[in-house]
Structure 1
C-alpha cells in the first residue's frame, strides 16, 4: 500500500510501512479498501489516506498522516512520530455490511483536520462533543444515529508501536450517546470506556439498520 517514491527522493516510507506491518499482523495479506485524500499531506491535507480492513463483524479504519510517514528527520519531538498517533475506528453499519461504508473516511478526515487546525493533541481519554450524528448525517451518506459524541481509547489490538520515525499510538474513536458523554465529562472517560469495554472489548460503533 505504501506509495512508491521517485528514485531521486531521499525520504523513505518507513513510517507508512510500519503502519502497514501493524495491520498485517492482524489481517494478514487481506487487501484493504484504501482512500487517498486529495491533495495529500504534502500539499496541505492533514491525512494522506485511510484504510479499512474487514474484521469479524465490522470494518476497522486506520488513518495515515498524523504520524510521520516519510521523513526520518523531523527534529526534536520527544521521541514521537509526528503527532505521535494515528486514528482508528471500528464500524459496523448495519445498512452496509457487504463493503466498507464511505462515510467513516470523511468523518475521520474532518476530525483530524479540526484537531490539527485547532492545535488539539488528542490522547487516550479525550472527549469530542459532536452535537450531531457522528456519522456526519445528513451531510454524508452515513445513517442517522443517536450517537453524538466520541471518546478516544487506545486501540485494543493495534496499541502502540515503535517506528523508524518515533513512537506511534493508535487512538480509536468510540462513539457514544449524549448520556455517556455527559457521564464521561462528570466522572472521567476511563470509567465510561471501562464499562463499554466490558460489554464489547473492541468497542465497535454500531449504526444503521
Structure 2
C-alpha cells in the first residue's frame, strides 16, 4: 500500500509497474531456468516490506510446482524459494552496499521442498511462515545458515502431529550459486527431519545424515523432499544406517566444537603517548564501551524470555 501511495503522490499512472530490482531479477532468472513454464508462480509477499518497517525480512517467497523425476525416484513436490536474505535492491535500504565480488547481503536465500499430496491443487503456505522465522533469526543474530547446519525446532514444522520436528540445512539440488549485480547468492534448502535424525547430526555431523537421507527415497531422496507424513526415521528405514552413524561418531567424532562470533576493533592513536605525569596516557573510552554493551545485552535477555528460535548449531569449520 505504501508503494501505491508513493506512486499516486508522484502522479504516476496506476497501471505503471516499477522495474524489477536488479538483484531480484537475477534470482528470478535463475528460477526461470528451472521452471521455464512457470513465469508467474504463486507468491507469498510481505504486506509491508521490511525496509518500510514491516516485520517480515523476506519480501517474497515463490512457490513452484515441481514434477519430480521418475528415474531418480523424486516425487512431485512444491518448491519454495525466498527473496530477501540477499541484496535485492543494491541501494542500502536493507543490506550494506558491497561490490560484486563479495556475497550479496547474507549471501544466500532459503528454499524448501514439500511433497505434494495427490489431492493438492495449490501449495500450502505454512512453509512461508517457517522460512520467515528462519530469516528473522538470521537478521537479528547476524548468523548465516550453511549446508550441514541443524535447527532444533521441537515441534512439527506444520504444527500438526507429524514426527518431522527439526531441520537440517542442505545445498539446493537444482539451484546453484547465482551471480547477481550485488554479489553471488547461494541457495540453502530447509530439510525436515525426525528427532532421531537430529540426534545423529548432533553426535556425528549434518552432512553425514544428509547423505543417508539422500539415498532413501522415502526419507527425502536425492533432492531431499520433506514429507510431513513420514512416520519412520532413517534408522528404522535402513538397519545399516545405525552402524554407519556409530562408525562415523567413532572415527570422526562430532563437529559441534565451534562457535560463531562477530569481532570488531578500533585503533587508539594516543595509546602510547606519554601523559602529563610521564606515564602512558589512558586511551579515550568509547561511547559504546564493552561493559555498556554487555549490560544492555543482559538487560534485553532478562526481558526476552521467549527466543525467536531454538539454538542453531553450526559446523566446526565455521568461525
Aligned to 2:36: 28
Change (3 A) 1:12 1:58: closer
- 1:204 matched to 2:225: yes
Q: Which one of 24, 29, 52 corresponds to residue 63 of structure 2?
A: 52
Cα deviation for residue 62 of structure 1 reads 0.2
Change (3 A) 1:83 1:96: farther
Aligned-residue Cα RMSD (Å) equals 2.6
Aligned to 1:140: none
Q: Which one of 195, 199, 203 corresponds to residue 178 of structure 1?
A: 195
Q: Where in structure 2 are the equivalents of 1:55-204 lying within 5 Å?
A: 55-56=66-67, 57-71=76-90, 74-76=96-98, 79-94=102-117, 97-135=120-158, 137=159, 143-199=160-216, 200-204=221-225
Do the aligned residues in 2 keep the contact of 1:12 with 1:72 (CA within 8 Å)? no
Q: Name the CA distance, whole Å, in 1 between partners of 2:20 and 2:122.
A: 32
Do the aligned residues in 1 keep the contact of 2:98 with 2:182 (CA within 8 Å)? no
Q: Deviations over 1:42-72 (max 9, x none)?
A: 1243110100000011000000100000116
Cα deviation for residue 28 of structure 1 reads 0.3
Looking at secondary structure, tell me which structure has more strand per residue: 1
Do the aligned residues in 1 keep the contact of 2:80 with 2:113 (CA within 8 Å)? yes
Q: Deviations over 1:20-48 (max 9, x none)?
A: 11111111031311111121121243110
The runs of at least 4 consecutive aligned structure 1 residues that moved more than 4 Å come to 3-8
What TM-score, normalized by structure 2, do the two folds share? 0.58
Matched pairs, number: 200
Q: Deviations over 1:158-190 (max 9, x none)?
A: 021111110100000011000001101111001
List runs of 5+ in structure 1 lacking aligned partners. Answer: 138-142
Q: Which has the higher contact order (CA 8 A, sep 6+)?
A: 1
Do the aligned residues in 2 keep the contact of 1:94 with 1:206 (CA within 8 Å)? no
Q: Name the CA distance, whole Å, in 1 between partners of 2:84 and 2:125.
A: 19
What TM-score, normalized by structure 1, do the two folds share? 0.86
Mean CA deviation greater in 75-84 or 18-27: 75-84
